[in-house]
Amino acid sequence: MATKSTGGIEKTKSTEVKKKLNVLIVDDDPSIRRIHEMIIKTIGGISQTAKNGEEAVILHLGGASFDLILMDKEMPERDGVSTTKKLREMKVTSMIVGVTSLAGQEEERKAFMEAGLNHCLEKPLTKDKILPLIRNLLGA
Amino acid sequence: MQRQVALIKQSLFDQGYLDEQFMELEELQDDANPNFVEEVSALYFKDSARLINNIDQALERGTFDFNRLDSYMHQFKGSSTSIGASKVKAECTTFREYCRAGNAEGCLRTFQQLKKEHSTLRKKLEHYFQLARQAGPKETARRPK
């Protein structure tokens, strides 16, 4: 079952509504989901999690949308490549970042990128790795 | 007591049980989530016990489906990397090399070593977190405001 961590909109003193970065974390590993949740929280974003690609697709079919999707590659039910392809077919325009432990496996990384990723990062994910992409996203 | 906790943690790094990724997790810990690292460790040990069980069952069958074993170990390695479990990660790498070489005996031997390292790390971290809780919050657990 997908889980949501916190609410999305906060008001500043000037009454201007400041939208928080809304992130979907898709990974079958519970410890990695928790780590990524915390990384997103510390950089001021909010997150939901999905245990596999199928849950991620179901969330989107239910009308959910995200600024950023962190996508694992190897997952049961539906893997990262299939999920990314499906989301792009569904016209999902979120930034999708693959997060994978495929160092040195260039062919597999290329296939993952070609599925529709915007970027691919190597595990373990850290704040330093994700921040430049988020700055880019918020600046766009 | 804080000093004892710090010494125990340092020894885990010095003896190669943990690497810098563990420190990355500690950097994420804050006042709102003071037990974050312990929480992540608990999730890791719970899920990795499941993976160990899957691999044990696969090896007991004796048929050695190296692709399936490699897939389990890929998952285990990714998980171990994310919490900084350095020795466990190294055994995962060795196991995967034996899978690729189709070396059943190597896989069995390495898996025994992996289980040993995993169990040792669990006990050492449980001891560390227990002491850390007794010692109370420390400055390094807080993020600068």
pLDDT band (50, 70, 90) for residue A104 = low
- Please enumerate residues of B whose Cβ is less than 8 A from a Cβ of A: 21, 24-25, 27-28, 30, 33, 36, 39-41, 43-44, 46-47, 71, 74-75, 77-79, 81-83, 143
pLDDT for res A5: 47
* Residue of A31, A33, A34, A121 to mutate when probing chain B, most B C-beta within 10 A: A31
| Closest to B87 in 3D by CA, of B35, B53, B125 | B125
Residue length of chain A: 140
- A29 contacts on B by Cβ (under 8 Å): 47, 75, 78-79, 82
Give bridge partners of residue A46 from the DSSP assignment.
A22
A110 within 8 A of A87, measured Cβ to Cβ: no
Instruction: Give the pLDDT confidence of A20-47 residue by residue, as tens digits.
Output: 899 999 999 999 999 999 999 999 999 9
pLDDT for res A12: 43
Structure pTM?
0.88
pLDDT for res A136: 81
**Whole-angstrom Cα distance, residue B115 to residue A47?**
34
A27 within 8 A of A70, measured Cβ to Cβ: yes
Distance from CA of B44 to the nearest CA of A (A): 5
Tell me what the mean pLDDT of segment B119-141 comes to: 85
The answer on pLDDT for A68 being more than 70 is yes
Looking at per-residue pLDDT, the higher value among B135 and B37 belongs to B37
pLDDT for res B145: 38
The verdict on A39 touching B (C-beta cutoff 8 Å) is yes
Mean model confidence pLDDT for chain A: 87
- A104-108, A126-130, B42-46, B98-102: which range is least confident on average? A104-108
Inter-helix orientation angle B86-101/B66-83, to 10°: 160
The answer on pLDDT for A88 being more than 70 is yes
| Closest to A67 in 3D by CA, of A44, A95, A43 | A95
| Nearest C-alpha in B relative to A30 | B43
Contacts of A74 (CB under 8 A, 6+ apart): A28, A80, A100, B71, B74, B75, B78
- B31 contacts on A by Cβ (under 8 Å): none
| Nearest C-alpha in B relative to A75 | B75
- B47 contacts on A by Cβ (under 8 Å): 29-31
Q: Which of B27, B43, B71 is nearest residue A34 as measured by Cβ atoms?
A: B43
pLDDT band (50, 70, 90) for residue A16 = very low
pLDDT for res A108: 85
The verdict on A126 touching B (C-beta cutoff 8 Å) is yes
pLDDT band (50, 70, 90) for residue B95 = very high
**Are β-strands A95-100 and A119-122 bridged in parallel, bridged antiparallel, or unpaired?**
parallel
